[in-house]
Amino acid sequence: MNIDQDDLLELACRLAIRAGDAAQTRREELGIGLVVGDTLVVETKSTSIDLVTEVDRVAEATIVGGLADARPDDGVLGEEGASVAGTSRVRWIIDPIDGTTNLVYGIPSYSVSIAAEVDGAVIVGAVYDPAGEVLFAAAAGRGATRNGEPVACTSPRATDPTAHLAQALVATGFGFSANRRRGQAEVLVTLLPQIRDIRRFGSAALDLCSVACGRVDGYYEKGLNYWDYAAGRLIASEAGAVLGDLRGGPGDSTFLLAAAPHVFEPLRSALRSADADERP
C-alpha cells in the first residue's frame, strides 16, 4: 500500500474526530460531574488512581476498526491494548482518550491522539479536543495547524533574556505512583518560585498542543507513555518549539521538555538543577 503523507494525515484527523465525537456524545449523555458505577464503567490500571473507562475502549476500537478498513497492512500500538505487528512500514500510535480522569469528572480537557510512524519516525500527528471541537495536526516538515490555521509557539515578551524563565507559564503532569508524585512535587517546590506559574491541565497530548499554539510557554513531564506524546511532540516541534530531555537527548518517556526557543534552555537548566529527571 502506498505511503502518502497527506493520506496518512487525513486518516489520522478523520479517525481522531470520529472517536472524539463519539466519546463526547457519551460524556454528554452522562451529565455534569463525576460519573462511576452504573452510569459509566470505570476500572483502574497501573495504580488505584489510573483510570480506564468504556469510553476509552470504545474510542480505541473505533480507531483500530477504521485503520483496519483503510490500511489493513499497517501496525498499531494503542494505550488500551491494541497491538498489531503489521507488514507495511507504517505503524499507528493511539491514545484513544488522553486525560481519562478529566473525562470521568466531566472536566472538558481530554483528547484523542493519533500518530503515524514510517520506519519508526513519526511523520504525521493529530490531537482532537472533542469538548472544544479543536483539531491540532502536523505533518513532518510542513508545520502545525489548529483547526486548519497555522500555529506557532510563543515569542519572547522581554528584551532581557534573564526574564524569560520568570515570565514563563509552564504546564506539567504527574504520574500515577505515590513515589513518583513525591519527587514531582519536590521539583515544583524548586521550580515554582522561578516562573510565572504552573498549569496542570491533565492531558499530555493537549499540553504539547498548548505549547504549539502559545497557550503556555513550556511543558515538561517525567514518565509519559509513548502514546501520550507521539502526536503532540510532532505538533509542538512543527510549531517551532524545542523538544528534548535535560541532557541533550530528543526527549522521550524518560523525560520530555517542550518549550518555545527562548524558554527551553533556562527551563532545562532549572529542571536539571532540581534533579527533575533523576528522581523516581
The total number of residues written for the chain in this structure: 280
Q: What angle do CA 109, 113, 115 make, to 5 degrees?
A: 160
Give, rounded to a whole angstrom, the gap between the first and last alpha carbons of the chain: 43
Helices (H), 129-221: 178-191, 204-212
The answer for residues whose C-beta is within 8 angstroms of residue 147's C-beta and 6 or more apart is 134, 135
Q: Between 46 and 147, whose beta carbon lies closer to ligand IPD?
A: 46
Q: Which stretch binds ligand IPD (CB under 6 A): 57-65, 150-158, 178-186, 221-229?
A: 221-229
**Cell numbers for 208:** 504539547
Q: Between 202 and 244, whose beta carbon lies closer to ligand IPD?
A: 202
Residue 224 binding ligand IPD, by CB under 6 A:
yes
Which of 110, 108, 80 is closest to 93 using CA atoms?
A: 80
Interhelix angle for 261-273 vs 178-191, to 10°? 110
Mask for 41-80, x = binds ligand IPD (CB under 6 A): --------------------------------------x-
Residues 241-280 touching ligand IPD, rule: CB under 6 A, are none
Q: Which stretch binds ligand IPD (CB under 6 A): 131-139, 149-157, 171-179, 257-265?
A: 171-179
Residue 174 binding ligand IPD, by CB under 6 A:
yes
> How many chain residues are in contact with ligand IPD, going by CB under 6 A?
14
Task: List residues near ligand IPD by CB under 6 A.
Answer: 79, 95, 98-100, 173-175, 202-204, 221, 224, 228
